[in-house]
């Protein structure tokens, strides 16, 4: 049940669903969890840094994580526990594991600069949460401004046996995957699951470089699942054909800030969450943007019927 370095496939990054008035929408949490399991995700990651986790109070965060965990009987749940301090990180990590989480995810705080600061931070984080909790190292320089070389990632993974997965979302990042896999071939890096994020924008080539799967929040996890599978099956052209059909929407959804609004809009359209509202401060999308997303969906649907969300659309 616990996360290991053998984890692979698609872990969806779940948004936190709210009602229009800002309360947490438990029913939509349940539906989201069902949805991810039904379409074939291996897991779901909740309370990610780009979601609205920082907008939750500590007790709310624990409640959200627990609800996802309890509902997810068929798939693994990873809980984002990044926090300004280790006390809060430990508290959420222990509570999540007690509730049945598969592991936790930790991102570096933005003030880290030197290699030693970065490796030191994760050593202290593991001391804080305990070395019995499997965890995911999040590498996301665009948002976090912390740059980890492949050698630093190797140090962290080597020093902390409980680190079993890298959430890779450096940009550009293809060479980083190749270098890490090269480290493993030469024997200097232990087995490590690499799932890629960044909205899925480079999933096609990330798989070819050696990623084990995807961990991101694209509103069609089915696409991520299919591309991961096709790529692993060596069906390169088919993987790219499907990926390319979705790319215009992937790109649109990957925009910082507004991307989450797009994602929630699509998930609402798909009937997975009841309401696309965000807690304040919220990045809304305009009517024009919604129409652009609708247009993109209609174009994706020419190739992938699952994107056909038109109201009375007959034979989807």
- In whole angstroms, how far apart are CA 55 and each of 107, 121, 275, 280, 281? 17, 24, 17, 8, 9
Work out how close the CB of 293 gets to a second copy at its nearest, in angstroms, rounded to a whole number.
Answer: 10
Between 117 and 188, name the residue whose CB sits nearer to a second copy. Answer: 117
Work out how close the CB of 89 gets to a second copy at its nearest, in angstroms, rounded to a whole number.
Answer: 10
CA distance 66 to 159: 30
Residue among 26, 70, 162, 205 that touches a second copy (CB under 8 A): 205
Site string for a second copy, 51-70 (x = CB under 8 A): -x-xxxxxxx----------
Work out how close the CB of 173 gets to a second copy at its nearest, in angstroms, rounded to a whole number.
Answer: 9
If binding is defined by CB under 8 A, does position 257 make contact with a second copy? yes
Q: Classify residue 87 as left (phi > 0), alpha (psi -120 to 50) or beta.
A: alpha
If binding is defined by CB under 8 A, does position 149 make contact with a second copy? yes
- Nearest CA to 50 out of 147, 165, 126, 144 is that of 144
- In whole angstroms, how far apart are CA 253 and each of 6, 151, 313? 29, 31, 23
Work out how close the CB of 146 gets to a second copy at its nearest, in angstroms, rounded to a whole number.
Answer: 8
Q: State both tokens at 177.
A: 């995957």
Site for a second copy in 276-295 (CB under 8 A): 279-281, 286, 288-289, 292
Residue among 63, 70, 86, 94 that touches a second copy (CB under 8 A): 86
| Contact indicator for 22, 280 with CB cutoff of 8 Å | yes
Q: State both tokens at 162.
A: 């409980």
CA distance 260 to 284: 9
Site string for a second copy, 15-44 (x = CB under 8 A): ------------------------------
If binding is defined by CB under 8 A, does position 256 make contact with a second copy? yes
Residue among 74, 85, 98, 235 that touches a second copy (CB under 8 A): 85
If binding is defined by CB under 8 A, does position 248 make contact with a second copy? yes
Site for a second copy in 104-143 (CB under 8 A): 110, 113-117, 120-121, 124, 127-128
CA distance 60 to 55: 9
Between 31 and 67, name the residue whose CB sits nearer to a second copy. Answer: 67
CA distance 74 to 85: 32
If binding is defined by CB under 8 A, does position 310 make contact with a second copy? no
Q: State both tokens at 106.
A: 């930790």
> Judged by CB under 8 A, which stretch of 4-12, 146-154, 155-163, 223-231 contacts a second copy?
146-154
CA distance 263 to 71: 22
Preceding peptide of 281 cis, ω within 30°: yes
- Nearest CA to 56 out of 95, 94, 11, 18 is that of 18
Between 200 and 221, name the residue whose CB sits nearer to a second copy. Answer: 200
Residue among 99, 147, 275, 301 that touches a second copy (CB under 8 A): 147
Q: State both tokens at 248.
A: 């215009």
Pairing of strands 43-46, 9-13: parallel
What's the DSSP call for residue 111?
T
Work out how close the CB of 43 gets to a second copy at its nearest, in angstroms, rounded to a whole number.
Answer: 25
What does the binding site for a second copy look like in residue numbers (CB under 8 A)?
52, 54-60, 84-88, 91, 110, 113-117, 120-121, 124, 127-128, 146-149, 151-152, 171-172, 174-175, 178, 201-202, 204-205, 208-209, 240, 243-244, 247-248, 251-252, 255-259, 279-281, 286, 288-289, 292, 299
């Amino acid at each position: 049940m616990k996360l290991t370095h053998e984890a692979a496939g698609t872990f969806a990054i779940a948004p936190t669903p709210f009602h229009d008035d800002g309360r947490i929408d438990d029913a939509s949490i349940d539906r989201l969890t069902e949805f991810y399991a039904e379409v074939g995700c291996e897991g779901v990651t909740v309370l990610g840094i780009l979601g609205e986790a920082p907008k939750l109070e500590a007790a709310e965060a624990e409640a959200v994580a627990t609800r996802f965990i309890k509902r997810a009987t068929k798939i693994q749940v990873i809980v984002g526990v990044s926090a300004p301090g280790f006390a809060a990180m430990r508290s959420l990590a222990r509570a999540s594991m007690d509730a049945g989480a598969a592991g936790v995810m930790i991102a570096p705080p933005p003030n880290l600069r030197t290699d030693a600061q970065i490796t030191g931070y994760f050593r202290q984080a593991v001391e804080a949460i305990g070395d019995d909790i499997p965890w995911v190292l999040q590498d996301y320089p665009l948002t976090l401004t912390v740059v980890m070389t492949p050698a630093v990632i190797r140090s962290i993974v080597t020093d902390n046996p409980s680190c079993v997965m890298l959430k890779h979302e450096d940009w550009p990042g293809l060479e980083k995957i190749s270098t890490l896999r090269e480290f493993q071939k030469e024997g200097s890096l232990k087995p490590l699951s690499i799932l890629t994020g960044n909205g899925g924008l480079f999933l096609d080539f990330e798989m070819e470089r050696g990623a084990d799967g995807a961990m991101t929040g694209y509103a069609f996890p089915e696409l991520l699942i299919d591309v991961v599978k096709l790529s692993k099956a060596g069906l390169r052209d088919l993987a790219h054909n499907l990926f390319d059909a979705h790319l215009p929407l992937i790109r649109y959804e990957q925009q910082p800030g507004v991307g989450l609004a797009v994602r929630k809009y699509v998930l609402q359209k798909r009937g997975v969450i009841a309401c696309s509202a965000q807690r304040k401060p919220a990045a809304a999308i305009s009517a024009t943007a919604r129409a652009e997303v609708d247009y993109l969906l209609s174009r994706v649907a020419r190739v992938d019927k699952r994107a056909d969300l038109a109201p009375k659309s007959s034979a989807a």
